[in-house]
Amino acid sequence: MSISKHAFTDAERLAVYRAIEERRDMRHFLPTPIDKAVFERILMAGHHAPSVGLMQPWRIIRITDSSIRLDIKNLVDKERIKTAEHLAERQQAFMQLKVEGIAQCAELLVMTLMDQREHHIFGRRTMPEMDLASVSCAIQNMWLAARAEGIGMGWVSLFEPSDLAKLLSIPQGAQAVAVLCLGHVDEFYSAPMLELENWRQGSPLDDVLFENSWENK
Amino acid sequence: MSISKHAFTDAERLAVYRAIEERRDMRHFLPTPIDKAVFERILMAGHHAPSVGLMQPWRIIRITDSSIRLDIKNLVDKERIKTAEHLAERQQAFMQLKVEGIAQCAELLVMTLMDQREHHIFGRRTMPEMDLASVSCAIQNMWLAARAEGIGMGWVSLFEPSDLAKLLSIPQGAQAVAVLCLGHVDEFYSAPMLELENWRQGSPLDDVLFENSWENK
């Protein structure tokens, strides 16, 4: 029982935990452009993610065309209304939430699973969805890097993938899994926005931790 | 175009990038126990992850019973052989890789998607698999926290989820998605182990980056 000789310094460890604790899913952005070097570091942080069998299944479509951005915004608005309809008694509360900042953010990315994934069996024979797990790790890296750079990021999953595929010529076998909004922010939320808006409160760690068997404490 | 007033200090930013760049998917471990406070910080880092609709879909089963650990090792060995059989001409090369450190690591965790996820529609109506994305973000947080603490972590996805469900009484609707090995290590790999072992080489970022449309550079 000892501290590892490979541990970072205390200051470095605290910085890593600061990024983890202060990262937020942002939906409010300022229009200021992101510094090019900062943006490249955030992208590279994503590319440093682990991936099952080192398949690096992420494909990143940067949206620089404002008419395509508007089309994406419209796709998301459409799904937002469909989601609201399925939420029954919470429909109105949901429609009052700000769920994305697509029109305002400085950079818009569509994170996509690559095509021809069936050639990659390592770690995916029984769970082909491990490719999504890898892309999610890449997105989490970008989120933390963005936070360290003082840049907000939001993950929007309110869309119909086949609509986005048509819009961006995403081929059969590939699939968009996230619309990412990145940009400067006035301030980072002090807690998850869904907590601040009383949509839902997070549970303590203890509630999700079992020993040796499901729900055994 | 400016640096954000919310940016971390240069030293903090570099620490975050160090964790991202030096994190490795580890398969070689020392038997030394992990300090309790360190282990708890790593778990808490996972619990700080973002989740779709704040559903926090992760359930963490800590394995402290050595006979269950052995059963998990046997499940993984079984799937390792089945994967090898499906890899055809790379079968032998695959069987020579070390793909897990279940028997040696200090702590073994089974990361599981919660049951009753169908009640959560926010951000999942068209893509229910967003719950796996959230669990993956939690695992990536743990990976980075572990690296900062000098602790190695490995994600094993070589198993048949229904076998693991039987072993750990995981109910219908829930699903194990990762066996995580955590422990002290002699050294962190200097590059992804699959690169060092010449299984596969990573691509440059430029290969996966498009603009406005699939494969458009």
Q: What pLDDT is stored for residue B3 in this prediction?
A: 86
Cα torsion A126, A111, A49, B41 to 10°: value is: -90
Amino acid (1-letter code) at residue B47: H
Amino acid (1-letter code) at residue A25: D
B50 neighbourhood in chain A, CB within 8 Å:
23, 25, 140, 143, 155, 192
Tell me the domains of chain A and their CATH numbers.
Answer: 24-200 (3.40.109.10)
Return the residue in A141, A181, A197, A201 with the most chain B beta carbons within 10 A, the one to mutate for interface testing.
A141
User: Of B83, B132, B140, which has the smallest distance from its Cβ to A125's Cβ?
Assistant: B83
Longest dimension (CA), chain A: 58
DSSP state of A125: S
Note whether B17 contacts A45, CB cutoff 8 Å. yes
pLDDT at B89 over 90: no
B 110-149 residues with CB < 8 A to A: 112, 114, 121-127, 129-130, 132-137, 139-141, 143-145, 147-149
Q: What pLDDT is stored for residue A1 in this prediction?
A: 56
pTM: 0.98
The share of chain B scoring above pLDDT 90, in percent, equals 97
Q: What pLDDT is stored for residue A137 in this prediction?
A: 98
Q: How far is A86 from chain B (nearest CA, A)?
A: 8
Note whether B121 contacts A87, CB cutoff 8 Å. yes
Note whether A35 contacts B2, CB cutoff 8 Å. yes
Q: What pLDDT is stored for residue B1 in this prediction?
A: 57
Is B62's Cβ below 8 Å from some Cβ in A? yes
Res. B217 pLDDT band, cuts 50 70 90: confident
Q: What pLDDT is stored for residue B141 in this prediction?
A: 98
Note whether A60 contacts B200, CB cutoff 8 Å. no
DSSP state of B175: E
Is B206's Cβ below 8 Å from some Cβ in A? no
A127 neighbourhood in chain B, CB within 8 Å:
157, 161, 177
DSSP state of A97: S
Res. B189 pLDDT band, cuts 50 70 90: very high
| Nearest residue on chain B to A198, alpha-carbon basis | B54
User: Cα–chain-centroid distance for residue B194?
Assistant: 15
User: pLDDT 10s per residue in chain A (217 long)?
Assistant: 578 999 999 999 999 999 999 999 999 999 999 999 999 999 999 999 999 999 999 999 999 999 999 999 999 999 999 999 999 889 999 999 999 999 999 999 999 999 999 999 999 999 999 999 999 999 999 999 999 999 999 999 999 999 999 999 999 999 999 999 999 999 999 999 999 999 999 999 999 999 999 999 8
Amino acid (1-letter code) at residue B126: T
Among B177, B72, B137, which Cα is nearest to A50's?
B137
Is B47's Cβ below 8 Å from some Cβ in A? yes
pLDDT at B82 over 80: yes
Enumerate residues 6+ apart whose C-beta is below 8 A from B167.
B68, B71, B72, B75
User: Of B18, B136, B212, which has the smallest distance from its Cβ to A64's Cβ?
Assistant: B212
Q: What pLDDT is stored for residue A88 in this prediction?
A: 85
Average pLDDT, chain A: 97
| Nearest residue on chain B to A158, alpha-carbon basis | B123
User: Of B23, B149, B208, which has the smallest distance from its Cβ to A60's Cβ?
Assistant: B208
CA distance B181 to B101: 6
A50 neighbourhood in chain B, CB within 8 Å:
23, 25, 140, 143, 155, 192
Give residue-wise pLDDT tens across range B131-141: 999 999 999 99
DSSP state of A207: G
* ipTM passes above 0.90: yes
